[in-house]
Amino acid sequence: MQYDGFFFEKILKVVSLFRFRRIKHYRNSNVMKSAGIMLCSVMVSVSLALGQGYETFQNFPVNSGSYLNGTFPGSDGSEWTFIQCRGDKAIELPTPCLGRKRNPLSRLQSGAIQNGCGTIIFSYRQAFSTAVNLNLLVNGELVKNALSAGGSADTGIIYSSDSIVVNMPGEFTLEFRQADSLNSGQVCIDNVFWTSCNRGVGYREKEAAGIQSAVMKFLWIQGRGITVRTQAEGEKSLLIYSISGVPVKEIRFPLREADLPMNGCPEGMYFAILRDKNMNMIRNVKLVIH
């Protein structure tokens, strides 16, 4: 049975209604979130070639507490620019962290990305005690003002932006920018996912013939088995993210095929990215739900 992008947009909205807005995250442990029970089972591969994209800042070059400026190649293929960012406060290393009271104003911006932006979602964390006041702009237009409560207790919470509807066709840029130069607290940004403007989050199999998948989205239902298959040799890491972009699992395996243990995870949508031992993305991947 096949489902189009409109169907998956509806699924995203249903899942979003049942998710907690704040997620306590402990590294190397499962992130438990309520996700709502789905009544169908389907696997869909999301391809960058079809306008789906993500950025996990794997190439962000800073790992110190110094505020630096620079550029790095993004997973989306564009060149990202960072202004007054540090790298020692993380969601999942490496993670850019925008500074407070910096001159010039701290920001993080992509290069030109193709195929339009339909919806976008990202994770963020308050780095110190000052509350987050972060703006996300698409082609210079404000689409999201992300906030946190403030206080030292809030630094242990990973926030989700929730799904942001943009619907901007054609070429676009993403910019994360502090809302002001005085009161916007330091903020970590990670695991950005977006969909194209005109295709939603899914595609029909006949449209995808011959296209290798880069990011996979799958629906996990209790009692189902999931197998990952690839032609790539050697040690590999399958990185699993929640629909909000929060890391859930990392599974390492040396063979071309492995069962994916999702026991203990809440039902719902997940993203998966497969990388080799050098952390290069492996595109020819298939998830089989049985």
Q: Which of 21-25, 223-227, 260-264, 275-279 has the lowest mean pLDDT?
A: 21-25
Phi, psi of 226 (to 5 degrees): -130, 130
The whole-angstrom separation of Cα 13 and Cα 153 is 30
* Residue 230 banded pLDDT, cuts 50, 70, 90: confident
Residues 188 and 126 in one domain: yes
Residues 63 and 181 in one domain: yes
Q: Is residue 142 part of a domain?
A: yes
- The pLDDT, as a whole number, for residue 23 is 37
Residue 2: give its domain's CATH number: 2.60.290
The per-residue pLDDT for range 17-57, each reduced to its tens digit, is: 333 333 333 333 223 222 222 222 222 233 333 346 889 89
Residues 83 and 184 in one domain: yes
Count CB-CB contacts under 10 A for residue 20.
Answer: 12
Q: Is residue 200 part of a domain?
A: no
Domain that holds residue 99: 53-194
To the nearest whole number, what is the mean pLDDT of the chain?
75
Q: Is residue 212 part of a domain?
A: yes
Residues 186 and 281 in one domain: no
Identify which of 35-39, 117-121, 267-271 has the greatest average pLDDT.
Answer: 117-121
Q: Is residue 199 part of a domain?
A: no
What is the torsional sign of CA 12, 15, 19, 23?
negative
* Residue 5 banded pLDDT, cuts 50, 70, 90: very low
Into how many domains does the chain fold? 2
Using only the alpha carbons of the chain, give its radius of gyration: 18
Residues 9 and 67 in one domain: no
Residues 85 and 16 in one domain: no
- The pLDDT, as a whole number, for residue 290 is 67
Q: State the distance between the two ends of the chain, measured CA to CA, in whole angstroms.
A: 14
Among residues 234, 216, 238, the alpha carbon closest in space to that of 288 is found at 216
The whole-angstrom separation of Cα 137 and Cα 173 is 8
Residues 15 and 70 in one domain: no
Residues 111 and 229 in one domain: no
Residue 147: give its domain's CATH number: 2.60.120.260
Among 141, 167, 194, give the residue marking a domain's end: 194
Among 194, 229, 260, give the residue marking a domain's end: 194
The whole-angstrom separation of Cα 61 and Cα 73 is 10
Phi, psi of 18 (to 5 degrees): -100, 0
Unique residue bearing structure tokens 């992130």: 31
Phi, psi of 250 (to 5 degrees): -130, 120
Residues 212 and 282 in one domain: yes
Count CB-CB contacts under 10 A for residue 215.
Answer: 22
Residues 40 and 75 in one domain: no
163: its two tokens:
């799904």
Residues 149 and 187 in one domain: yes
Kindly report whether the global pTM for this prediction surpasses the value 0.85: no
Q: 210 pLDDT exceeds 70?
A: no
